[in-house]
Structure 1
Amino acid sequence: MPTALITGASAGIGAAFARRLAGDGLGLVLVARDAARLDEEAAVLVAQYGVTVEVLAADLATDEGIAAVEARLGDPDRPVDLLVNNAGFGLREGFPTVPVADELTMVKLHIEAVLRLTHAAVPGMRGRGRGYVVNVASVAAFLPRGTYGASKSWVVNFSQSAARGLAGTGVRVLALCPGFTRTEFHDRGGIDMTEVRPWMWLSAEQVVDECLRDLARGRSVSVPSLRYKALVAAARKAPLAALVGITSGVSGRIDHR
């Protein structure tokens, strides 16, 4: 049975990935900080889909948490065929209001953890001649929005570079860039989303479905929905001053988990 390891798997897009992949018959390794919540999710998935589900409680904003997941990814006796780097968070305020410690935690989780876990997974995938890595970024990667946007921009560039470097090996790497997605992400961050128009929201299931279609097609970047594809295309052509004006009122809001 192929196996997928999903970080940030206890809610939102991570949980949607777990449901979809379990439905497709993959075994799962679910990673998040809340062990009790992971156990509950695992029990539901096993009962509903009859797949093998392993839980790994780890805080990927710490060296210990990252090392635990690296060890699981590098275990040759329990290979992982698909890695979904989904763990992340947003901040209610922007730079420089946010304490630098919170900014550094974001860099640890959004950049260092993604780099290290991808690095841990890829050698085994190359050796087997097949494997997939999905790094969850955001449409904020294409907008000037402080540390959050900068970290997601790194995810996109890193994923594209890794995809090129692994061409011909059977290993595919993709950056997933969703826009506003209905999850509990914003509530956990205390972020007011009342100004966001209803038509701007996506479902986590739609995000996952479009991501997996783009992964199967060999793409290195996936932007779910035509509305956000158009937004990203416009952002790439717009002057910086215009982008700053657009994003200044929604700092910390464009995300997914």
Structure 2
Amino acid sequence: MIVLYGDHYGISDSENKSLAKAIGKNPDTWDDFDDAQMQRVPYMINIPGMNKGFISNKYAGEIDALPTEMHLLGISTKRYIQFGTDLLSKQHDQVVAFRNQDWVSPAYTSIGDTIYSNKTGKEITPSKAQQKVIDNNKNQVRTELSLSDSLNSKNLLRFYHPKGFETVDPRKYNYADSLNKEIKIEKKLGKKSKSLYSENGNKSTQSLYKTDAPEIHHKSTNSSRIKITNPDATHESSR
């Protein structure tokens, strides 16, 4: 099974207006709603032998990827703690929380104290019935983020011992110097290395990458962008 997905903030928000025309938008009327919609990223799953593919328009977050893929692989998630829900399930939750407590759902986008209609992209003044739905969504998002914070800040996973899981010693993992570590692993493996770099004759494949993405051709003033000056010094994963 092959899964492809995009990354949030692949393009900084500061670039959005400059690239608005590339997606048929007017840069002069660009607003917070448009910024929120730019959080959408591609998510594609290819399964060998599957001949009934389809496009789903369901709303989802990255936390929904794991339960979806586990179920497609035939792995039950009943024994595991997961915040996400299976995209292909009728019980999938389509309220997607942002880290700053903003959120999107099929009907509404909430940015700060402003509510937008997804249908029109315009700010709305909710009716009593709409406000009830919106309040429920806000409470759900607060609860989800609070649980996530508790899990991370209190290290609750130290109490989590599902059957089949092996305890990981965090002292063995330090990613501060990951590139050099990967190079050492690659050299140790020698001809057994299956990294893309090794299988390409110890040369980077960067020159093979071609794209017509508009941001590549846009002259950015952001000096913090990473520039690669020696393509052959770039290593793909050694695993």
User: What is the TM-score of this pair, normalised by structure 1?
Assistant: 0.22
Q: Would you tell me which structure has more strand in proportion to its own residues? A: 1
Q: Would you tell me which structure has more helix in proportion to its own residues? A: 1
User: What is the TM-score of this pair, normalised by structure 2?
Assistant: 0.23
